[in-house]
Amino acid sequence: MGSTTQKEAEKAAGKGDAERRSRKASKETRQLQLIEATIDSLAKRGYSDTTMADVADGAGLSRGIVNFHFESKEKLLVATLQYMYDEYSAHWRSALQKAGDDPARRLQALVAADFDRSICNKRKLAAWCAFWGEAKSRPTYQMLSGARDEAYQQTIVELCTQLKQDAGYDYDAEATALGLSAMLEGLWLRLMINAESVTRETAHQAAADYLASVFPKHFLREAAGRRKIS
């Protein structure tokens, strides 16, 4: 009898754990649905015109669910910006890891990552643009982005420093890294405003041209116009 009772208790405990995991997974799933719907709304309507009702309708959920998970539009937007930064950070860090230890390959991979379709598409670029337009007047956004931007920029500085040491280039590593990151941001901006002459492919090619002009001992031009590591 005691054994049966113990088994029933263990079964009940296991069921309770499963239900808690299910609720947690459901919460994360719902929040992701709402964040993705927020990105859609930002891309379609812009920052000011995005409402909690728009997000709820876009996610196919009730407005009460939006309020339950995020309480306010500001909290929803902060969560969305954090999600986008986390996604972007994981993307470029993964590209670096796959590139190995060679600094030229790592820098090439870092640049190429910016033009991957999963990150660089009209929907997400428009959402980034919406947030950037608000960042100056919203300290929370500045604090959220500051550490992540600093980590990315420091990585570029380190790679530029390594290439300089390797080939004896006559440039300031920090200034060169700043120029590279500013160019990448500028290419994103061109893509955001739908410049007809700029596509992901031509933007990536322009970035490759920059690498070859600044680091000629590491990047060579191929006949087809693409770049390869020397």
Domain 80-230 fold: Tetracycline Repressor; domain 2 (1.10.357)
> Which residues are registered as beta bridge partners of 219?
229
Nearest in space to 212 (alpha carbons), one of 166, 161, 163: 163
pLDDT of 149 > 60? The answer is: yes
Which of 10 and 106 is assigned the larger pLDDT?
106
Q: What are phi and psi of 215, to 5 degrees?
A: -125, 65
Written as one letter, the residue type at 213 is: S
What pLDDT is recorded for position 174? 97
Burial classification of residue 147, based on how many CB atoms lie within 10 Å of its CB (0-12 exposed, 13-18 middle, 19 or more buried) = exposed
Q: Give the Cα separation of 193 and 215 in Å (integer).
A: 30
pLDDT of 22 > 50? The answer is: no
Burial pattern 159-187, b for ≥16 Cβ within 10 A else e, equals: bbbbbbeeeebeeebeebbebbbeebeeb
pLDDT of 170 > 90? The answer is: yes
Predicted confidence (pLDDT) per residue in 74-132, tens digit: 999 999 999 999 999 999 999 999 999 999 999 999 999 999 999 999 999 999 988 88
Over the chain, what is the mean pLDDT? 85
What pLDDT is recorded for position 91? 97
What pLDDT is recorded for position 53? 94
Mean pLDDT for the stretch of residues 34-54? 94
- pLDDT band at residue 148 using 50, 70 and 90 as cut-offs: confident
Mean pLDDT for the stretch of residues 53-77? 92
pLDDT of 9 > 90? The answer is: no
The residue to which tokens 């799933």 are assigned: 29
What pLDDT is recorded for position 222? 61
pLDDT of 224 > 90? The answer is: no
Q: Give the Cα separation of 205 and 184 in Å (integer).
A: 11
What pLDDT is recorded for position 138? 75
Written as one letter, the residue type at 204 is: H
Q: Give the Cα separation of 131 and 43 in Å (integer).
A: 11
Q: Give the Cα separation of 146 and 160 in Å (integer).
A: 21
Predicted confidence (pLDDT) per residue in 194-215, tens digit: 767 789 999 999 999 999 999 9
For the chain, give every residue range classified as CATH 1.10.10.60: 1-71
Mean pLDDT for the stretch of residues 148-159? 92
What pLDDT is recorded for position 206? 93
Predicted structure pTM score: 0.81
For the chain, give every residue range classified as CATH 1.10.357.10: 80-230
Indicate the range of 25-39, 187-201, 203-217 predicted with least confidence: 187-201
CATH homologous superfamily for the domain 1-71: Homeodomain-like (1.10.10.60)
